[in-house]
Amino acid sequence: MKNTLIIFLLIIPRLLCADAWDNLTLQQAEQVSEFLNTDPYILDYCDCCNYEGEYATKIYLMKVKSTEIITCDWNSEYYSVRADVDILAEIPYIKEGPDINYAHRYKSKEELVITMNYTWAYNEQKEKAAPIYTIIPYNIYGETNPNLGSCKAFTSFPKPKQIKNRKYKKWYNKRFQI
């Protein structure tokens, strides 16, 4: 009994960490997919995670190549958006958030499930990278949920000079009028 209690106490902190919001209505999934098809550059990072922890030591700049709407793997009443992405850069995560001044090129291809709180996209009103729920309305957990919000301030995208990608440079210059 004592061992069971110890194991249970060790598991609890894992269950309390931030949840990725990948459970979308069909309409939200369609909006996310449409948005990413027209504005494909995203940052993938957990702004609420401990910057020294396993999940938040790096931030990735990615380009979405394609999206697919699938059934949410943990709640069949909802949908998720799966994306094929090219990882363009790795950005260090410091206590204050992404350290975009030290982004460096990184080439890889991956499959990613888009999350409303940990996928950051270009928010036109803020002119910054912001969680995608600030662009596509997401209120599955209710508008009054105290956890609905960013843990860190919105951030900037890395400068094209660091990334050395012609298409990213064109996208960046268009968004930031450079």
Q: What is the pLDDT of residue 52?
A: 64
Q: What is the pLDDT of residue 177?
A: 80
Q: What is the pLDDT of residue 8?
A: 35
- Amino acid residing at 16: L
Tokens standing for 162?
């660091």
**Beta-carbon contacts of residue 68 (< 8 Å; ≥ 6 apart):** 33, 81, 82, 83
pLDDT reading at 160 higher than 70: yes
pLDDT per residue over 58-107, tens digit each? 899 999 999 999 999 999 999 999 999 999 999 998 878 889 989 988 88
Contact between residue 57 and residue 95 where contact means Cβ atoms under 8 Å apart:
no
Task: Write down the mean pLDDT value for the chain.
Answer: 84
Q: What is the pLDDT of residue 3?
A: 44
Q: What is the pLDDT of residue 20?
A: 86
Give the pTM. 0.83
Q: What is the pLDDT of residue 143?
A: 58
